[in-house]
Structure 1
């Protein structure tokens, strides 16, 4: 793994622009900050959100508010509530998010989660 040096800085999420990403149902609102080899996002899924694809990217996902289900392609479903976290490396477990009542997440991904060959 290549070390990426990021100087100390704070992120004021109230000043980070939101982008909309349509799900199969519902909408995901992303606020994204990008660094060299690192992406940090504040993500909100609307009520009745159902992801429109299987994600193969690695993430660290912290549930800040609400409840959601992370469904794995093998059929397993994991429910995460406020205060819970999941971690997965790139190309390890295809997953998608589903929420009935909406959820707010902090999602971190980057080079450090790439699959080792």
Structure 2
């Protein structure tokens, strides 16, 4: 069945209930669906993903942390290279990383992912 096409009665599809359990169901007449079996919910990536990012300008680092967490990254590393345009002052790095850790905890709750991004760090290259 192509995405966006109406399903015919008897077609099978995956369904998620309010408790986020995954089921295989068969479509019936009208709004009726018969649950055929419960499926294992595997929503996490099968590999650990580390994102390396040069220092972004302005507040884009927070956006990178948010999106990386939503996509299932396990570790985020910001680095300041010789050719980096943005610079983080040494006395503010700890504060920024602490703010990102707080953001990671917030994202974990709001996205209900099965894991928390383990770390967000900064390195000079």
What is the TM-score normalised by the length of structure 2? Answer: 0.24
Structure with more helix by fraction: 2
Structure with more strand by fraction: 1
Query: With CA pairs under 8 Å and 6+ residues apart, which has the higher RCO, 1 or 2?
Result: 1
Max Rg structure: 2
